[in-house]
Structure 1
Amino acid sequence: MTPNSFFHVALKADDVDATAAFYEEAFDGTLIERGHADEGEGATAVEHAALEVADKRVYVFDRAPYEATGDVEPMPTGLLHFGFVVDDVDAAREAVDGPDVDWVMGPERFGDLRIAFLLDPTGTVVELIEHVS
């Protein structure tokens, strides 16, 4: 499976607004989206800010989507995961799947995305992202 592009990194922060402001000020980031937990359900019931920094996105969450769904225990603040864009999440999942692959969540709808999360051999969470309308 060959991803189309590297899309983002996701961070967990105690204060989403303060962390987003840091990336806006320190790295000339542009806030492109702000979401609130009470506006979503399941994986989307999270406080989050999306920023464009250079040519990539930085997502800041109060908790990861896979924490919100109960698929994992609460995680510490800091780096949560990074994401690759793929044409088809189901096909990518099938191509990557095997006896040594642990799936954390998905595929699941997240706004205009279909997403799935897996663990690499080091335990790092990797997201597969399909843009849908």
Structure 2
Amino acid sequence: MILGFAHPAVVVSDLERSRDFYSAAFGFRVLSDEGWSDTPEVDAAIGSGDSRCRGYMLAGHNCFLEIFEFENPQQTGPEPSTLGPHERGLRHLSFFVDDVEAEYERVLALGAQALGAPQKASGITAVYLRDPDGNIIELCECPTPEEDLRRLPGIKALQEWANV
């Protein structure tokens, strides 16, 4: 039985910078330290070899976000900042906000890079930015009452837990 979506994971170039960015920009807090080295079981599980990394599991308003900085193996793929929103694969993390324009300016001041400018289409305001590693972030207002996060099961319990 599927219990729920657990978390996305983002590989970053500077773990502490990314922790600080996601904490300041979106209110994430460190839930636990993550990471490993010289662990054949982890390598076997993730399909890698001699992997070493540090990381954090972050707790947010209604989700978890895992961030990792790998020491080994070295990156061989393209830099995230070279990939557009149309490329295959996971392309962005989306955050519902109450005021896209205000949050856009605030997140830019925290080190994000503009990819677009806030636009309103079909009654919804949204914009794409890049985090300090070039990963795409979407800021958008709730498009419909049905997509209001407060309607999701468990949100009230998570809000109470986060305020402890």
TM-score, length-scaled by structure 2 = 0.34
Question: Which structure is larger by alpha-carbon Rg, 1 or 2?
Answer: 2
TM-score, length-scaled by structure 1 = 0.40
| More helix by percentage | 2
| More strand by percentage | 1
